[in-house]
Amino acid sequence: MTIFNLPATVCLTADPDFTDLALNELRAAAPPARTTGTLAPGVLLIDGVDFFSLAATWHVTPPIFVRHICPVMAAARLYGGEDDVEIMADLLRGQLLEYVEPSLPFSVQTRIFEDGLLKPFDVNRALSSLVEKATAAPLDVRAPQQILSVVIGNVAEMGGAAALMGVSPTLYNLSDWAGGMRRFAREKEQISRAEFKLLEALEVFGIELPPRGVALDLGASPGGWTRVLRGREQYVTAIDPGELDPRLMGDPAVRHLRMTAEAYLAGEPERFDLIVNDMRMDARDSARLMVDYAPLLYADGQAIMTLKLPARGRRAIIERAFEILRQAYEIQGARQLFHNRSEITVYLTRGAIGRESS
Q: Which residues pair with 308 in a beta bridge?
A: 282, 343
Which residues, 6 or more positions from 266, have their beta carbon under 8 angstroms from its beta carbon? Answer: none
What single DSSP character describes residue 182?
A: -
Q: Report the distance separating Cα 309 and Cα 148, nearest Å.
A: 35
Distance between CA atoms of 246 and 260, rounded to whole angstroms?
20
CB atoms under 10 Å from CB of 134, counted, come to 13
SS3 for 72-84 is CCEEEECCCCCCH
| Phi, psi angles (nearest 5°) of residue 315 | -65, -45
Q: Annotate 285-298 with DSSP letters as a single string.
A: HHHHHHHHHGGGEE
Task: Find out whether 209 and 232 touch, Cβ atoms under 8 Å.
Answer: yes
Q: Distance between the two ends of the chain, CA-based, in angstroms?
A: 67
**Is residue 188 among the annotated active site residues?**
no
Number of residues that make up the chain: 358
Cα separation of 164 and 87, whole Å? 12
φ, ψ of residue 95 in degrees (nearest 5): -130, -15
- H or E stretch at 298: strand 297-308
Active-site entry in 119, 188, 197, 308: 308
The C-alpha atoms of residue 154 and residue 160 are separated, in whole angstroms, by 5
Q: Are 4 and 18 in contact (CB under 8 A)?
A: no
DSSP 240-254: -SSPPPHHHHT-TTE
Catalytic residues: 308
